[in-house]
A and B are shown apart, each in its own frame.
Chain A
Amino acid sequence: MNHLILAPVILPAILAPLIVLAMRHEITLQRVFSVAGSAALVVIAFLLFGQAETGQIQVYEMGNWPAPFGIVLVLDRLSALMVMMTSILGLGVALYAMGSGWDARGKHFHALFQFQVMGINGAFLTGDAFNLFVFFEILLIASYGLMIHAGGRMRLRAGVQYVVYNLAGSALFLFALGTIYGVTGTLNMADLAMRVAALPEGDGALLRVGAVLLLIVFAVKAAVVPIHFWLPNTYTHAPAPVAALFAIMTKVGAYAILRMYTLVFGPDMPAIGTLAGDWLLPAAVVTVTLGMLGVLGSKHLGRLVSFSVIGSMGTLFLAIGIFTPEATAAALYYMIHSTFAAAVLFLIADLVVARRGAAGADVVAAPPIAQNGLIAALFFGAAIAMTGLPPLSGFIGKLLILDAAREGAQMVVIFAAILITSLIAVVGFARAGTTVFWKAYAVEGTSTPAPAQELPLVVTGALLSTMALLVALAGPVTGYLEATSAQLYERELYIEAVMPPVNAEGMPIPQSGTPEGEGPLPPDGPQTALPDGAEPGTVPGAYDNEGAQ
Chain B
Amino acid sequence: MELIVALAVGVLTAAAIYLILRLRTFPVVLGTAMLSYAVNIFLFATGRLAINQPAVLLTGGPYADPLPQALVLTAIVIAFGMTAVVVMLALGAYLESGTDEIDMKDETKGDRT
The interface of chain A, by Cβ under 8 A from chain B, is 130, 134, 137, 141, 144, 148, 150-161, 163-164, 167-168, 170-171, 174-175, 177-179, 181-182, 187, 233, 236-237, 239, 299-300, 302-303, 353, 358-362, 525, 527-531, 536, 546-547
Contacts and interface: CB of A to CB of B under 8 A. Distances in A.
A474 B53 CA distance: 60
Given A167-B35, A178-B46, A239-B113, A531 B65 contact: yes
Given A130-B74, A168-B20, 16 more contacts: A153-B96, A154-B104, A157-B97, A164-B20, A171-B32, A177-B43, A178-B43, A178-B46, A178-B71, A237-B111, A300-B108, A358-B110, A359-B110, A360-B111, A360-B112, A530-B65
Contacts of A177: 43, 71
Given A163-B85, A164-B32, A529 B65 contact: yes
A-B pairs with the 3 shortest C-beta distances?
Answer: A547-B57, A156-B93, A182-B46
Interface of B is mostly: helix
Interface string B69-90: 0010011001101100110011
B86 A163 contact: yes
B82 A527 contact: no
Contact of A167 (B32, B46, B66, B67): B32
Given A164-B28, A170-B78, A171-B32, A159 B89 contact: yes
Q: Say which size band chain B's interface belongs to.
A: 35 or more
A436 B54 CA distance: 68
A114 to B, nearest CB: 18
Interface in B1-51: 16, 20, 25, 28-29, 32, 35-36, 38-39, 42-43, 45-50
A161 B104 contact: yes
Nearest to A527: B50
Interface of B: 16, 20, 25, 28-29, 32, 35-36, 38-39, 42-43, 45-50, 53, 56-58, 60, 62-63, 65-68, 71, 74-75, 78-79, 81-82, 85-86, 89-90, 92-93, 96-97, 102, 104, 107-113
B56 A547 contact: yes
B109 A144 contact: no
Contacts of B97: 153-154, 156-157
A24 B97 CA distance: 28
A528 B53 contact: yes
A435 to B, nearest CB: 15
Given A137-B78, A302-B108, A171 B36 contact: yes
Contacts of A148: 89, 92
A144 B16 CA distance: 22
A178 B50 contact: no
Contact of B85 (A144, A171, A239, A531): A144
22 contacts: A130-B71, A134-B74, A141-B81, A144-B85, A154-B113, A157-B93, A157-B104, A163-B89, A164-B102, A170-B79, A171-B16, A174-B42, A178-B68, A179-B46, A361-B111, A362-B108, A362-B109, A527-B48, A528-B63, A530-B65, A531-B67, A536-B60
A160 B82 contact: no
A144 B96 CA distance: 17
Nearest to A145: B85
A15 B60 CA distance: 45
B76 to A, nearest CB: 11
Contact of B32 (A168, A178, A239, A359): A168
Residue in A151, A154, A157 whose Cβ sees the most chain B Cβ within 10 Å: A157
B81 to A, nearest CB: 7
Nearest to B37: A171
A361 B108 CA distance: 8
Nearest to B98: A153
A137 B63 CA distance: 31
Residue in A167, A300, A302, A359 whose Cβ sees the most chain B Cβ within 10 Å: A167
Residue in A164, A177, A300, A362 whose Cβ sees the most chain B Cβ within 10 Å: A164
A106 B112 CA distance: 16
Nearest to B50: A527
Contacts of A152: 96, 113
Nearest to A532: B67
Contacts of B89: 144, 148, 156, 159-160, 163
A379 to B, nearest CB: 18
A181 B46 contact: yes
A299 B49 CA distance: 55
A170 B82 contact: yes
Given A181-B68, A529-B65, A175 B86 contact: no
A170 B69 CA distance: 18
A148 B113 CA distance: 11
Contacts of B29: 164
Contact of A178 (B42, B65, B74): B42
A155 B112 CA distance: 11
Contact of B39 (A141, A150, A175): A175
Nearest to B33: A167
Contacts of B79: 170
Contacts of A174: 39, 42-43, 75
B68 A233 contact: no
Nearest to A147: B89
Contacts of B113: 150, 152, 154-155, 237, 239, 353
Nearest to B74: A134
